[in-house]
Structure formats: C-alpha cells, structure tokens
Amino acid sequence: MLRGLDAAGDEADPVVVKVADRRTFEGTVSVYLRAGVTAVVADRQARVRDTAEQVAAAGVVDAVEVVEWPERLRDPPESAVAADALGLYDEFIDAVEAEPLVPFFETRSGTGTADRVVDPPAVCVAYRVDGELAGLYPRWRDGHHDSIEDCLRALCTGERLRNLP
C-alpha cells in the first residue's frame, strides 16, 4: 500500500511515502540546511525539509531533526552553531575522508584569524543509528554520487539508506 503525503513543490511531483511492506529506519535523520541561499535553493531546501518531516510523520523513521548551518564556517568558530557545524564536518571527514565530500563541502585555508574556511552544501543529510554515522548525503562513493535525491528516495520507499560501512 502506498500513501501519498502532500509536500510543497510541483503538483506533478507529489511526495509518496510507502508505509506498508517496507523497511523502517531505526535511528535519526538529520537535515542540515545552509543559511544565506537564493530563493530557488531555499525552495529546494523546503522540499527536503518537508519530505523528511513527512517520512517521520508516517512513522518510517525514528526521528528527524532539521538544523540550519551558517553560510560559511571559520576555524576557530565564531559561534556555538558554527562550532557544532565544524564538529560535524570533521566527523564526516573521519568517516569518509575529505575526497568524497568535494565539491559539496568547499574547504580552503583561512586568512586573518581563521585557520580554515568551510563552505557547507545547501543541503546535507546524515543518518545515525545508535549515535553512529551510518549514512551521509551528498558524497562520492566508489565513483557513484550519493545525492540528496537518492536519500529522499530511500526514505520514501524503504530502500537502503545506510551508505557507510
């Protein structure tokens, strides 16, 4: 059985969440949205946020959290929010190394008081099971791009969401 859930966006492309005969996801889906984006990107962010929240409402994932990231992260961080975001970026590097995160996260040497500067992607999704990172979108893996769309499709259909060992 499929159950359609309304989402903001194109009426020709409704969000449909399969709720019967599917895998449910134990864990937390964290949606990270970058501040300071264009209206077009903000619409895409809203679509991702709405889809994640609808999946949670359908009961096919334990929890969803939505976090806004600063437009640019400087190290040392300028706020607690930036410190948390840099900590997450470092966690992602520990999990997959830096190469699979390029070009989604742009990192460069800082100037002045900043040792490094990181520009996060407009949308990033992390999936955690028992607090451990189990899925990360977007990223490159074995020559394949694990996109935000791949993540949303997995959430809606019950396909494999875990893309980390």
d(CA 123, CA 137): 9
Cβ partners under 8 Å of residue 141, min gap 6 = 96, 100, 163
Which residues span the domain enclosing 147?
Answer: 2-157
- What total number of domains does the chain contain? 1
Strand pairing category for 61-69 and 25-34: parallel
Please state whether 84 falls in left (phi above 0), alpha (psi between -120 and 50) or beta.
alpha
Q: pTM of the full predicted structure? A: 0.86
Per-residue 3-state assignment (H helix, E strand, C coil) for 34-56: ECCCCHHHHHHHHHHHHHHHHHH
164 within a domain of the structure (yes/no): no
Report pLDDT for 10. Answer: 47
Report pLDDT for 1. Answer: 33
Give me the residues of the chain with pLDDT under 70, please. 1-14
What the block records as the tokens of 81 is 């929010």
Cβ partners under 8 Å of residue 60, min gap 6 = 17, 18, 19, 22, 24, 25, 155, 158
163 within a domain of the structure (yes/no): no
Report pLDDT for 25. Answer: 87
Strand pairing category for 25-34 and 15-18: unpaired
CA nearest 161: which of 113, 127, 116, 111?
A: 127
Report pLDDT for 45. Answer: 97
